[in-house]
Amino acid sequence: MHNVWFVASAWMGIAFIASLISIRLGVSVALIEILLGVIAGNAFGIKTNDWINFLATFGAGLLTFLAGAEIDPQSLRAHLKESLTIGVIAFVAPFLGVLGFVFWFTGWTYQQALIAGIALSTTSVAVVYAVLVENGLSQTELGKMILAACFVNDFGTVLALGVFFANFNRLMVLFVVVMAVMLYYLPSWTRGIIQTLGETRVSEPEVKFLFLVLFFLGGLATMAKSEAVLPAYLAGLVVAGVFLNDRVLVNRMRSIAFTMLTPFYFIKAGLYVSLPALAPAAVVVGVLLGIKMLTKFVGVWPLSYGFGIPSRERMYTTMLMSTGLTFGTISALFGLENRIISQAQYTVLVTVVILSAVVPTLIAERFFMPEAAVEAPDEESAAQRARVANE
């Protein structure tokens, strides 16, 4: 099909159906888009083209930017020691574990093993955050520490993706220097634009400015053979303080991302999953999921113990740090698009990533839910109920 409108309507149709299913099931639209992408690719042979690839790439970049921008800098500072230690180990342990397994036991090349290690080293901040909110832990010190550790973990993933496959030459130096200068001034530039031009202008100068920065830094990263998600995540991190005070800006950028960009990214991520390649690799998928969870356990559990986190919360933290979704698919897709891994290997990695979003969450909720969270009532209603009980 060459009619651009029909192609766009087919993709948006899938995205629309994904939204409906997501609302009905109460499951993230990202996950449904990936699964519908799998069906579209395998059953209907839907393919990507240049403009879809661009929208998908920008979608991944914007998603990464938003993920970085959602960190609470104060919370990170308050739990710096614990979150830094747990986050770094939570990245390094599965990275080395998975890398070693696929390199020595499955015959993947070193470059392919690097992609596998990076893709399965992630922790899904979004999955963890949703679980913490649902269980009333998001505002507790434990919840804030876990979230901060997840951000550190994902920073490790993004850094590895941007560094391991880059060319270290003059272009890389140029990229690093320009990026460092721009990131240094980005918060004050963004704040300045908002203050000077005023908030919520119809012409949206602050959104266009941030897109300009993301496009430019993405261009520099690509030129240096690095990955555009690295500057996007760092840009998100440095403007997180600005975003904390301007929720309207966050909502607008999220609307743009979720309506027009991320559906293309997630559907595309599912499109390349080959169902025929999945059945013979079922054992490898299971083993890799086990390795990811086991290495996260080995890395995170002793540290949680060392930081005095109680037993049940310790297991809960460990399980949540084993989740993954967005950065895992970004890493696997990077490997596929740069011809580092094959479609069969991509299928294995994305399947493990999807399973890692679901399995550890279910185990954590079923077996290791901290008691205090289950019993925590709404403060106002608890007071009212106490009053009624005394009457």
Minimum CB distance to other proteins, residue 182 (Å):
23
Closer to other proteins by Cβ: residue 132 or 315:
132
SS3 of residue 144 by DSSP: helix
Site stretch for other proteins (CB under 8 A), options 179-187, 249-257, 271-279, 312-320: 249-257
Rg (CA), the chain: 21
Instruction: Check residue 120 for interaction with other proteins (CB under 8 A).
Output: no
- 142 interacts with other proteins by CB under 8 A: no
**Applying CB under 8 A, does 98 fall inside the site for other proteins?**
no
Residue showing tokens 């490997």: 335
Distance CA 343, CA 273 (A): 7
Nearest to residue 231, comparing CAs of 179, 190, 186?
A: 179
Interface with other proteins (CB under 8 A), residue from 2, 3, 5, 26? 26
**Region binding other proteins by CB under 8 A among candidate stretches 109-117, 157-165, 306-314, 376-384:** 376-384
Smallest separation (angstroms) from other proteins to the CB of 133: 5
Question: If binding is defined by CB under 8 A, does position 366 make contact with other proteins?
Answer: no
Residue 153 binds other proteins, judged by CB under 8 A: no
φ, ψ of residue 225 to 5 degrees: the values are 60, 25
> Which residue number, 130 or 207, has a Cβ lying nearer to other proteins?
130
Cα–Cα dist 285/332, whole Å: 14
Q: Tokens for 222?
A: 């690509």
Q: How far apart are alpha carbons 43 and 253 in whole angstroms?
A: 33
CA 243 vs CA 70, 250, 267: distances in Å? 8, 6, 28
Q: Is residue 358 a contact point for other proteins (CB under 8 A)?
A: yes
Interface with other proteins (CB under 8 A), residue total 40
| Contact string (CB under 8 A) for other proteins, positions 306-325, x = contact | -------------------x
For residue 248, CA distances in Å to 251, 280, 305 come to: 5, 48, 40
Nearest-approach distance from CB 340 to other proteins, in angstroms? 24
Token output for 382: 């608890």
How far apart are CB 259 and other proteins at their closest, in Å?
Answer: 12
C-beta separation of 296 from 321 below 8 A: yes
Residue 361 binds other proteins (CB under 8 A): yes
Q: For residue 126, which of 252, 258, 18 has the smallest C-alpha distance?
A: 258
Determine which residue in the list 14, 18, 55, 63 makes contact with other proteins, applying CB under 8 A.
Answer: 63
The span from the CA of 140 to the CA of 147, in Å, is 11
Does position 363 interact with other proteins (CB under 8 A)? The reply is: no
CB atoms within 10 A of CB 378: 10
The distance of closest approach from Cβ of residue 27 to other proteins in the complex, given in angstroms and rounded to an integer, is: 5
Binding stretches for other proteins (CB under 8 A):
22, 24, 26-31, 63, 66-67, 70, 124-127, 129-130, 133-134, 136, 250-251, 254, 258, 262, 266, 325-326, 357-358, 361, 374-375, 377-378, 381, 384-385, 388
